A = this chain, B = another copy of it.
């Protein structure tokens, strides 16, 4: 017992050497135990300066013995760096945010960065509240994500730290955004359907006011036009639901022109379409080939047959965003819009 225990409450329990359940060891505890000064401890622990091997070793084992963990708040205070970033999901954490966050968290964790999670729930007030909090905590940078790809106003202007937008993008062209190449993904879907011999391709998708729906629909039509063809009928805009997929499929199938493929704006829609197609007595993919979008495993694999789908590679996108943020924090910003390619994952709904 070299230290007086203080009066912080005496919970017994298992302890790591001197570090009882109460106060975490500080650098001067280590110094005292090793019989050196705090400066020496700092050098030993950070490998700075030049010390006798014996001293260094003595310090290290003292630190070990006390279970010493440097207080990051103190480090932050005089380095000006917190090794912390904020991640704001502007709309609720959901199916799209998760892989993004996981990718980002992964890349940042490797860079010794900790991540503050902020769920703004589509509320601009909450968003600004979180922004202030993060600035107050002096995070080194911020990642902004959302569930829609549509550009949004910047979360702040003239901020003292870099910001990277992931999946969503900023309306300010100078801001750094990482977005999926949805148009390219739609083109890949069409190319694939053409490659497996389909010519009468319909498109069923989400609401017309939804950015992704219009982008994907336009890209599909363009790609077909480049091939000297056109969509079999105008795109059917509706909801992002299985139910709409079922309804829309009925409409498409009852049309006079016999279609041989349907490209859907989402896997949920595609799944509804699949059910309706099968109910109509047609076979997938023999009579009607089907391509979805999102490659949402539970939908794509639960479907019968499993769905060919466009994967936006959200985890990679999150990782990229994190890397760009780290670079920007390091003084190497990459302003502007960065596009990530989509992958086409081929499964039973198009493979004959």
Chain A residues in the interface with B (C-beta under 8 A) = 13-16, 19, 21-24, 69-74, 76-77, 82, 87, 92-94, 98, 101-102, 105-106, 109, 114-119, 132-133, 135-138, 157-160, 241-243, 268, 271-272, 275, 298-299, 302, 304
Contact = CB atoms under 8 A, between A and B. Distances in A.
What secondary structure prevails in chain A residues at the interface with B?
mixed
B92 A158 contact: no
Contacts of A268: 298, 302
Contact of A114 (B24, B102, B137, B241): B137
Given A94-B98, A133-B114, A21 B72 contact: no
Contact of A73 (B69, B82, B271, B299): B82
Contact of A158 (B15, B77, B157, B271): B15
B119 A116 contact: no
User: Which of A105, A114, A119, A304 is the most central at the interface, judged by chain B CB atoms within 10 Å of its CB?
Assistant: A114
A117 B158 contact: no
Contacts of A71: 77, 136, 138
Contacts of A272: 302
Contacts of A271: 302
B158 A14 contact: yes
Contacts of A106: 119
A107 to B, nearest CB: 12
Nearest to A70: B136
Contacts of A94: 98
Nearest to A67: B135
A304 to B, nearest CB: 8
Given A19-B160, A69-B135, A73-B82, 6 more contacts: A14-B157, A24-B138, A72-B138, A74-B77, A94-B98, A98-B98
Nearest to A77: B73
Nearest to A15: B158
Nearest to A19: B160
6 tightest Cβ-Cβ pairs between the two chains A and B: A14-B158, A117-B117, A73-B76, A69-B136, A13-B158, A242-B302
B136 A87 contact: no
Contacts of A136: 69-72
User: Which of A14, A73, A102 is the most central at the interface, judged by chain B CB atoms within 10 Å of its CB?
Assistant: A73
A122 B105 CA distance: 15
